[in-house]
Amino acid sequence: MFDDAGQPVAVDAPIRTGQVLHYYRDIADEAVIPFDETILFQDDWLVVADKPHFLPVTPTGGYVQQTLLVRLKRRLGIEHLAPIHRIDRETAGLTLFAVQPATRDAYHALFRQRAVTKTYEAIAASPGVQPFPRVHRSRIVEDSCAFFRMVETPGEANSETRIEVLEVRGAHARYGLQPLTGRRHQLRVSMDALGLPIIGDQFYPTVRRGPREPEDFSRPLQLLARTIAFTDPVTGQARAFESRRSLQWPEPDA
């Protein structure tokens, strides 16, 4: 157990009135993520963090202490901090957190109502003769052979992404992606379906790393949650945030 300052508390220590304790699952040999998050904005209602690659947003699997939520709770001392939305562990960029439990659902409603504008950037192979910009629509479902992957399948579309080419450097290009729906791994699956898998993707088109194999921190997924904009449901203010991170272009012969 830990107190609000992140200091360990013995199981037989006396408890003070009003004291808040934190309990986390004990994971032996939890891997340390050697990259730091950045806080871009904080007020009484909202925290906006710029997440590094490889860091999970919330405790899951083999990660508890090395998650964005736990790091921020300890850093800011906000017990009721909660994510408003999530991005993949492998993806870097903007993540929003609600400070007050009473207003948390108001922020969640923005995503349910698709009242949030999000843009991402990705680096993949150059498009060749494929026409861009374009809107990619498809039906994305869980892979029946691998629960951690998603696949496109025939049927009514349940995903929609606007894709444009922002920059071309030889054999590779930087793409702007705007998801209009929120399917798991939507951007990664859509780019792979176009024959343009995102550089550094460990799942698409094929699984390249087992769950117990060590992470290769030198090869992050080149996908970044770049911008997010919405009208704050609590204050009524227009909010717009942009990640300060950047993607890594492959070497010219890669």
- Vertex 205: Cα angle to 32 and 174 (nearest 5): 80
pTM: 0.88
Residue 57 and residue 87 in contact, taking contact as beta carbons nearer than 8 Å: yes
User: Which tokens belong to 130?
Assistant: 């494929």
The share of the chain scoring above pLDDT 70, in percent, equals 91
Residue 193 phi/psi, 5-degree rounding, is: -65, -25
Short-list 190, 206, 220, 92, CA closest to 148: 206
Task: Tell me how crowded residue 17 is: count the other CB atoms within 10 A of its CB.
Answer: 4
Determine the CATH number of domain 38-242: 3.30.2350.10
Name every residue whose Cβ is closer than 8 Å to that of residue 202 and which is 6 or more positions away in sequence: 90, 208, 209, 221
The share of the chain scoring above pLDDT 90, in percent, equals 78
Residue 132 and residue 159 in contact, taking contact as beta carbons nearer than 8 Å: no
Residue 206 and residue 192 in contact, taking contact as beta carbons nearer than 8 Å: no
- What is the domain partition of the chain in residue ranges? 38-242
Give 177-209 pLDDT, tens digit per residue. 999 999 999 999 999 999 999 999 999 999 988
Short-list 53, 36, 57, CA closest to 201: 53
Q: Any idea which of 123-127, 185-189, 204-208, 234-238 has the lowest mean pLDDT?
A: 204-208
Give 154-178 pLDDT, tens digit per residue. 999 999 999 999 999 999 999 999 9
